[in-house]
Structure 1
Amino acid sequence: MRSTLLFFVALATAQIEESSQEVRTLTGSERRITTDSARPTVTLPDLDLSTMVSELDSWLAENSASTNSTTTTTVSEPPLTEIIGTKETSTTNQTSSTTTDAPEPTNTQPCNNYVEFCTRRYSNITEVCAHNSPFVRKNNIAANQHLDVTQQLNDGIRMLQGQVHDVNGTLHYCHSSCDLLDAGPVEDYLRKVVAWLEDHPYEVLTIIFGNAEYERKNAFGDALVTSVNFIEPIQNSGLKRFIYQPPKPRMTLSDWPTLGELILSQKRVITFIDYNFNTNAVPYLLWEFYNIWETPFSPTNFEFPCTLGRPDGIGREQQDDMMYIANHNLNVEVAIAEWNLLVPNLVSLNTTNGIEGRGSLGEMVNTCTGIYNRPPNFLLVDFYNEGPFNGSVFEVAAQANNVTYNRKCCGRESRAAYGLRPSAGWPVGAIAMVIALSW
Structure 2
Amino acid sequence: MAKLTVHTLLPLLCLTLVLATPNPTPQAEITTISSSPSTPSPTPSTICNNSPDLCTRAYNNITHLGAHDSPFVRDPSTGNSVAGNQYYNATVALSAGVRLLQAQVHFSNHSSSSSSSSGEGAGGGGDGGVLRLCHTDCRLMDAGRLEDWLGTIRVWLEGNGNEVVTLLLVNSDDRGRGVFGEVFERAGLGGYGFVPGLTSNSTSNSTSTSSAGSNSSGSNSSAGSNSTGTIVWPTLQTLITANTRLVVFIASLPAVSSSAQETADSQTYPYLLNEFDHVFETAYNITDPSAFNCALDRPANTTFSSSSTSSSSSSSSSTSSTSNSGTDNKEGTLAQQALAAGRLPLLNHFVYLQLTPDIWIPSASGVNATNSPSEADGDVGALGRHIKSCRQEWGASSSSSASSSSSSSSSTGNGTEGDSKPVFVLVDFYNHGPAIEAVDRANGVVGIGRAKEPVPSSSSSSGEQWNQNQAWAIIVASVLSAVSLVMVWYIFRNSRCWVCWGCCGQSHPEGYYRN
- TM (norm. structure 1) is 0.66
Q: Closer, same or farther in 2 for the Cα pair 1:241/1:254, shift >3 Å?
A: closer
- 2:93 aligned with 1:152: yes
Q: Bigger radius of gyration, 1 or 2?
A: 2
Q: Distance in 2 between matches of 1:297 and 1:317?
A: 20
Residue matched to 1:30: none
Q: Which of 246, 252, 255 lines up with 1:275 in the alignment?
A: 252
- 2:278 aligned with 1:291: yes
Q: Distance in 1 between matches of 2:163 and 2:180?
A: 23
Residue matched to 1:327: 348
Q: Which of 428, 440, 456 lines up with 1:382 in the alignment?
A: 428
Q: Closer, same or farther in 2 for the Cα pair 1:308/1:240, shift >3 Å?
A: same
Task: Provide, for residues 155-175 of structure 1, a one-character-per-residue CA deviation record: whole Å limited to 9, x for no partner.
Answer: 111001100111111000001
Q: Which of 232, 237, 241 lines up with 2:191 in the alignment?
A: 241
Q: Closer, same or farther in 2 for the Cα pair 1:203/1:431, shift >3 Å?
A: farther
Q: Distance in 2 between matches of 1:206 and 1:431?
A: 40
Letter in 1 for 2:425: L
Letter in 1 for 2:347: A
Q: Which of 341, 361, 369 lines up with 2:359 in the alignment?
A: 341
1:145–1:383 Cα contact (<8 Å) kept = yes
Q: Closer, same or farther in 2 for the Cα pair 1:416/1:290, shift >3 Å?
A: farther
Letter in 1 for 2:389: T
Q: Distance in 2 between matches of 1:145 and 1:208?
A: 16
Q: Distance in 2 between matches of 1:326 and 1:422?
A: 29
Task: Provide, for residues 280-309 of structure 1, a one-character-per-residue CA deviation record: whole Å limited to 9, x for no partner.
Answer: 323221111111100101322312111111
Q: Distance in 1 between matches of 2:454 and 2:60?
A: 28
Letter in 2 for 1:150: T
1:226–1:278 Cα contact (<8 Å) kept = no
- The answer for unaligned runs of 5 or more in structure 1 is 1-78, 84-108, 215-224, 434-439
Residue matched to 1:266: 243
Greater CA drift, 271-280 or 348-357: 271-280
Residue matched to 2:381: 359
Q: Which of 358, 364, 368 lines up with 1:350 in the alignment?
A: 368
1:227–1:273 Cα contact (<8 Å) kept = no
2:60–2:423 Cα contact (<8 Å) kept = yes
Greater CA drift, 369-378 or 110-119: 369-378
Matches within 5 A, 1:244-259: 244-247=194-197, 248-250=222-224, 255-259=232-236
Q: Distance in 2 between matches of 1:117 and 1:148?
A: 25
- The answer for unaligned runs of 5 or more in structure 2 is 1-40, 110-128, 198-221, 257-262, 304-333, 396-419, 481-515
Residue matched to 2:56: 119
- 2:390 aligned with 1:368: yes
Q: Closer, same or farther in 2 for the Cα pair 1:80/1:163, shift >3 Å?
A: closer
Task: Provide, for residues 75-125 of structure 1, a one-character-per-residue CA deviation record: whole Å limited to 9, x for no partner.
Answer: xxxx95744xxxxxxxxxxxxxxxxxxxxxxxxx20111111111111110
Measured after TM superposition, the shift of residue 355 of structure 1 is 1.4
Matches within 5 A, 1:40-55: none
Secondary structure, in 3 states, of the residue corresponding to 2:436? helix
Task: Provide, for residues 149-201 of structure 1, a one-character-per-residue CA deviation record: whole Å limited to 9, x for no partner.
Answer: 11111111100110011111100000111111000100010000000000011
Measured after TM superposition, the shift of residue 422 of structure 1 is 6.0
Measured after TM superposition, the shift of residue 425 of structure 1 is 6.1
Secondary structure, in 3 states, of the residue corresponding to 1:119? coil
Q: Distance in 1 between matches of 2:157 and 2:451?
A: 20
Q: Closer, same or farther in 2 for the Cα pair 1:411/1:81, shift >3 Å?
A: closer
Secondary structure, in 3 states, of the residue corresponding to 2:237? helix
Secondary structure, in 3 states, of the residue corresponding to 1:192? helix
- 2:155 aligned with 1:195: yes
Q: Closer, same or farther in 2 for the Cα pair 1:252/1:149, shift >3 Å?
A: farther
Q: Distance in 1 between matches of 2:69 and 2:363?
A: 14
Measured after TM superposition, the shift of residue 424 of structure 1 is 8.8
Which has a greater percent of helix? 2
